[in-house]
Amino acid sequence: MSTQDVMSTFKTYVFRASGEALAQNVNAFNEASRGAIQLGAAQNVGDFSHQAAFAAVKNFVRRRDPYANTSVDPTPLEMLNETSVKVATGTSPVTFSPSHYRWIQENPEEAGVMLGEELAEAILQDQLNASIIAARAAITGNADAVYDGTANKLDLQALLQGAAKFGDQASQLVAWVCHSKPLHDLYSANVANNTQLFQFGTVNIQQDGFGRILVCSDSPALSYEDNGTFFTTLGLTQGGIKVEDNGDMDSHIETTTGRENLVRTFQAESSFNVGVRGYAYSGAKAPTDAELGTGASWTQVASDVKGTAGVAVNSK
pLDDT single digits (tens) 162-207: 999 999 999 999 999 999 999 989 888 764 445 555 565 666 666 6
Beta carbons of 36 and 277 less than 8 angstroms apart: no
In 3D, which of 203, 229, 200, 230 has the Cα closest to residue 214?
A: 203
Exposure string of 217-240, with b = 16+ CB inside 10 Å and e = fewer, is bebebbeeeeeeebbbbbbbbbeb
In 3D, which of 28, 29, 35, 81 has the Cα closest to residue 54?
A: 81
Provide CB contacts within 8 A for 112, sequence distance 6+: 9, 10, 11, 12, 13, 14, 16, 17
Tell me 66's DSSP state: T
List, in sequence order, the alpha helices (H) in the chain.
3-32, 98-106, 108-140, 156-163, 180-188, 289-292
- What is the residue type of 225? E
The pLDDT of residue 118: 78
Largest CA distance in the chain: 98
Provide CB contacts within 8 A for 37, sequence distance 6+: 29, 30, 128, 131, 175, 177, 215, 236, 240, 241, 243
Report the 10 Å Cβ neighbour count for 249. Answer: 18
Alpha carbon distance, N-terminus to C-terminus of the chain: 59
Beta carbons of 275 and 312 less than 8 angstroms apart: no
pTM: 0.82
At 304, which helix (H) or strand (E)?
A: none
Tell me 306's DSSP state: G
In 3D, which of 231, 229, 191 has the Cα closest to residue 211?
A: 191
Beta pairing partners, 205: 198, 215
The pLDDT of residue 280: 97
The pLDDT of residue 203: 62
User: What is the block-wise mean pLDDT of the chain (316 residues), using blocks of 10 residues?
Assistant: 53 57 66 88 87 73 89 80 94 77 62 72 88 98 97 92 96 94 84 52 63 88 94 97 92 83 85 97 96 97 95 98
- Which tens digits make up the pLDDT trace of 230-243? 999 999 999 999 99
Torsion 282-173-162-38 (CA) sign: negative
